[in-house]
Structure 1
């Protein structure tokens, strides 16, 4: 029995849901300095990620070597080509060329452990042939100057209370499972408070990124208008946000809908519920700044939902 009201809605879908990530433009944060690197980040309708220059975080002690010292006489290659992140819409590349995302370290100095105060990353989507691709070679020794990572949104998982099959004239409450809202997965089934709000963390670096659903728009599929639900963090010990000790009409969760007709006349006897999940991605580089938002992206999902003409909660 859950007697605390969940702070509702993190991510969405169900076993029968179809996740349809619609291509969208990239939203990115300003280039940031974190530890001994500069980072460029992105968020789109498929996921989020970062591309950082330099290497592991400097945590004190002996001064880290300069970039020149780390090169040991080898040439510095300031650019690197990556695959285009999924979710980015681009036109057909010209014949003989393919699209790449080219990240370039600009305004750097080799006589610094982090590229210097003016160092920053420049990102461009360019169509290249083999000759143009060779302009940005990536020898093995240059890997120490780059740290890329990416995370996709988890598969959606929708919960409906008080029963998975809503009843006519009984409020149906929509909530989301914690696991479907976090890129960090627990092997034990429990999460620390930090894990509940983190999307990606690497102990060897000073950058953490997270993705959280901040709004959910539900089209219930019965001809009534779509409605929006606020979103937040659902406590792990109250995963459905529903108080079983109270009547369905006395719940606090605002994300609800009352079906007036059963779905018997619908294809396969189910309503088609359309969902729009708004993800907000933020980054963390220390307590002084807290979580800084990068941008938002929408993901859509479709849920087939049976509604029964039964005036009772049981079953």
Structure 2
């Protein structure tokens, strides 16, 4: 069953700008999702024996426009823009050198949320020929889907085990099989890819007892709920459990309101020799689940 997603004010975590292949990239994560902005992010498709052209050669005499305006990422709350203006995320390439194929070792990206009107927008145009110098991708988290075992309607005095479905606890794509998903493809050895995983869940069971933390990822991928139906409820490996002492019959609609705080962590990967996935930070998502809890019924009674 899908939980009702509720999002409050958000903060955004950023990784340091990284250089990967011919790109300079900056990444973000917040309570809505994650993504990246890359300069020169589209691949150069020239022959392997031919050196890639410099930025100056690719421009062919046209002016280099170092900035680009993007929509404000979801989850960012800003005050009302001044009359006649709108908020944009302005990303600017700085300290670049046009006589290099990747902007040079000092090139990096600067981000700013700015209100713009026609005059300010004209300061940062985006002509078609600048398209190959940029790449942008993003992903939102899937709606949380709570699993309760051994039955969705727990019984009084019997442990109830909580988990998320595998589909609602990760966002990822195989950077080798599908380099275009959540990634900026550079070449076979430099491919900025991103993924996010749920690493912790705090459960407020709604019955007046304290909330408790549940580490995620402690069960196998092919058995995300960690519940072995051949074993008793007291012999399960999933550490995320709660024992209700009273039924929910007296609660509104006969159900407890379970509150979840789900912590996502985003990672990036920049090639087979880059040392694996690196974390860029975490963000919390809150959700609410209505849960009926029933009395244990005796046989024949």
The reply to whether TM is greater than 0.5 is: yes
State the SS of the aligned residue for 1:207. strand
**Structure 2: stretches of 5+ with no match in the other structure:** none
Please list, as runs of the form range in 1=range in 2, the aligned pairs for 1:1-315 lying within 5 A after superposition.
Answer: 14-15=1-2, 17-57=3-43, 60-184=48-172, 200-201=182-183, 203=185, 206-232=191-217, 234-286=219-271, 287-311=273-297
Q: Deviations over 1:261-315 (max 9, x none)?
A: 00011011000000000111111113433221111110000000000011579xx
1:128 CA drift (Å): 1.1
Q: Which whole-Å CA distance do the structure 1 matches of 2:23 and 2:125 have between them?
A: 21
Classify 1:61/1:274 alpha carbon distance in 2 versus 1 (closer, same or farther; 3 Å). farther
Q: Which whole-Å CA distance do the structure 1 matches of 2:122 and 2:298 have between them?
A: 69
User: How many positions carry a matched residue from both structures?
Assistant: 290
Q: Which whole-Å CA distance do the structure 2 matches of 1:156 and 1:307 have between them?
A: 20
Q: Which whole-Å CA distance do the structure 1 matches of 2:184 and 2:92 have between them?
A: 23
1:89 CA drift (Å): 1.7
Q: Which has the higher strand share?
A: 2
1:234 CA drift (Å): 4.6
Classify 1:200/1:306 alpha carbon distance in 2 versus 1 (closer, same or farther; 3 Å). same
Classify 1:105/1:159 alpha carbon distance in 2 versus 1 (closer, same or farther; 3 Å). same
Q: Deviations over 1:30-66 (max 9, x none)?
A: 0000110000111000000000001334695421111
Indicate if the aligned counterparts of 1:178 and 1:234 stay in contact, CA closer than 8 A. no
Classify 1:194/1:302 alpha carbon distance in 2 versus 1 (closer, same or farther; 3 Å). farther
Task: Work out which structure has the larger RCO, using CA pairs closer than 8 Å and 6 or more positions apart in sequence.
Answer: 1
What TM-score results when the alignment is normalised by the length of structure 1? 0.87
**Structure 1: stretches of 5+ with no match in the other structure:** 1-13, 186-191
Indicate if the aligned counterparts of 1:262 and 1:308 stay in contact, CA closer than 8 A. yes
1:193 CA drift (Å): 11
Q: Which whole-Å CA distance do the structure 2 matches of 1:252 and 1:240 have between them?
A: 9
Indicate if the aligned counterparts of 2:175 and 2:193 stay in contact, CA closer than 8 A. no
What TM-score results when the alignment is normalised by the length of structure 2? 0.91
